[in-house]
Amino acid sequence: MNLIVGLGNPEVKYHNNRHNIGFMVIDKLLEGLSYTTLNKPAFRGNLYKYHNLLLLKPQTYMNLSGESVHAVSDYFNPEKIIVIHDDLDLRFGVLKFKYEGGNGGHNGLKSIDAHIGKSYYRVRVGIGKPKDKDKIISHVLSDFSTREKKYLDEIIDQAARACLHLIEMPLQTVAQRDSLNLKLTNELLI
């Protein structure tokens, strides 16, 4: 059994926010699958099962994501845990992968680290960083721009494929095969 976790916030008002890219990738992975929903209050999230694959969208809000991941991982003891999250340190259009390491100040990752440790895979989806540090919160909690949306489907598709590849292949293979560095116009470079 393997667990793929998409990070995001549960309310409708956050649905298209940059911070919810993890939820968007989980939704993409679920498209066309005949999955079973395994929602138990203890899981504190929307959990879906397809054969030997669990897909989780924590409903705890970003800062408490570790509570949901911990409950599900304790119950199922997955072989691999893969977490999809937005990354301010990568420009929009970049997709990278990591195992263990620091959290880069990401509150969802901080929560997961506190609850299960750092031994999990990360699919890092670049959302860019505003020049003014005071605008970081409004940046992550805002929707993708019209210009960004032109590339968003491609990024989500690639991230979804990469999650599945991480289950079957070594990290270095996936990093070489599935990393994304879209050549974007200057107007999108944040």
Beta-carbon neighbour count of residue 31 at 10 Å? 7
Residue 139 annotated among the catalytic residues of the structure: no
Beta-carbon neighbour count of residue 82 at 10 Å? 22
Tell me the two tokens of residue 86: 């937005």
Which among 38, 97, 29, 88 has a CA at the least distance from the CA of 68? 38
Beta-carbon neighbour count of residue 33 at 10 Å? 13
What is the C-alpha radius of gyration for the chain, rounded to an integer number of angstroms? 15
- Identify whether the C-beta of residue 108 lies closer than 8 Å to the C-beta of residue 62: yes
Distance CA 51, CA 56 (A): 14
Catalytic residue among 15, 19, 85, 139: 19
Catalytic residues: 19
